[in-house]
Amino acid sequence: MTVSFAQIKETIPNVFEDGCSTRVVLDHVMSKWGVLVLSSLSDGTHRWGELRREVDGISEKMLASTLRTLASDGLVHRESFPAVPPHVEYSLTPLGRDLMERMLPLVAWVADNADGMLGRED
């Protein structure tokens, strides 16, 4: 599947213009924490503590904010179970799984090439 930026702009009028929903969703998905949380959830359902450990360096406040944003975008499902202490699980929605099928190859490419790119003098 080869798609060009020009083809996208031709197909979807006003895409990527200031205030466009596309830019908002891209900001959520491609943010530092958004991509890491989504990548972690692509392995399956996780509880809060598992996500906190998996996404090294994220604060509780940022994890909560990121999960809330991704859930409101329809990418993450939050399920709360009536238990003491509270038991909450997070998973990708079908839309989130569809996104990650496309995004994980990019994440893998970055992982394979990041060390060689950083510190490189051209």
Domains detected in the chain:
19-105 (1.10.10.10)
Supply the pTM of this predicted model. 0.86
What's the mean pLDDT in 12-36?
A: 86
Considering only CA atoms, which of 76, 74, 79 is closest in space to residue 37?
76
pLDDT tens, 28-83? 898 999 999 999 999 999 999 999 999 999 999 999 999 999 999 999 999 999 88
CA-to-CA dists, residue 24 to 19, 93, 94, 113, angstroms: 8, 19, 20, 27
Per-residue confidence (pLDDT) for residue 52, from 0 to 100: 94
